[in-house]
Amino acid sequence: MELSLDRLTKHYKSKIAVDCISATMTPGVYGLLGANGAGKTTLMRMLCGILEPTSGDVLYNGHSIFEMGSAYRNFLGYLPQEFGYYPNYTAQEFLLYISALKGIPRYNAKKRSHALLETVGLENVATKKIKTFSGGMKQRLGIAQALLNNPKILVLDEPTAGLDPKERVRLRNILSDFASDKIVLLSTHIVSDIEAIADEVFLMKKGTFILQGSIEELVSYAKGKVWELTVPEHDLKKWELNYTVANLHHSDRGFVTLRIVSDERPSLEAVSCTATLEDLYLSFFPTEDGGK
């Protein structure tokens, strides 16, 4: 099974949201990592066939998904960023309702809903109304609805938003079980979530993939660019102004230890450290808005 993006492009009037992206996915978990506004949602909506590209194509085993229509949608599970829940439905009713929309026969729908509520750890609240759920519980219900038709391709837009650390581990386990023979693509701007969940990462900036590869491959780009340095506290502003400071730690006696991402050794006293994905991300998105 193969899903390919072929020079995929989307313009919103003069704004280029996705800029001629080509890539191929085979079964596994792919993470789409980028700052807000990088184009992740636009790309995912085109990949689901909901948004028409300005140019380019998405190919499922060599066939354009825009020509396959509902045949493609039968293979697809999607959790959008802003998912509409019905507050007065119970979790179970909600899954049965979505099953009906997906054309799943009622008997199968019941069995499948029950199994999925268990998979996402909501079996004990199956008959509780959604309005009583926390953000993380709603998110897990959203993931369950995306899995109802046992999709071959699963697209999750910011699925880790609102999940606590335990729930993140649960999501990672669900996805790695599920992805052995399926393609899972999830977006996030939380680096540690990608590190924990994805096998392969697309780093997206200004509508393009600036890097792609395994976490190890990506981290290798930051190798030799991460430094640790202890400076007087009163100099901190100066360092923050001139360098990308990934982390800082105040020690006693008025000193602060900085983790700096920089191509050049920032000072003779700076010691080189082992790079992480977070360091790589900061080297490409040094400002708070991520340079979009």
Summarize as ranges the residues that interact with ligand ATP (CB under 6 A): 12, 15, 17, 34, 36-42, 81
Residue whose CB is less far from ligand ATP, 7 or 15: 15
Least distance CB 34 / ligand ATP (angstroms): 5
Least distance CB 43 / ligand ATP (angstroms): 7
Is residue 238 a contact partner of residue 260, using CB atoms and an 8 Å limit?
A: no
Residue whose CB is less far from ligand ATP, 38 or 229: 38
Residue whose CB is less far from ligand ATP, 208 or 262: 208
Least distance CB 242 / ligand ATP (angstroms): 29
Question: Other CB atoms closer than 10 Å to residue 204's CB: what's the count?
Answer: 24
- What tokens does 262 get? 């920089």
Least distance CB 15 / ligand ATP (angstroms): 5
Least distance CB 292 / ligand ATP (angstroms): 7
Residue whose CB is less far from ligand ATP, 15 or 106: 15
Measured CA to CA in angstroms, residue 36 lies from 120, 159, 249 at distances of 27, 15, 27
Cα–Cα distance for residue pair 241/283, rounded to 1 Å: 15
Least distance CB 245 / ligand ATP (angstroms): 24
Sign, CA torsion 137/142/147/148: positive
Residue whose CB is less far from ligand ATP, 38 or 175: 38
Residue whose CB is less far from ligand ATP, 38 or 95: 38
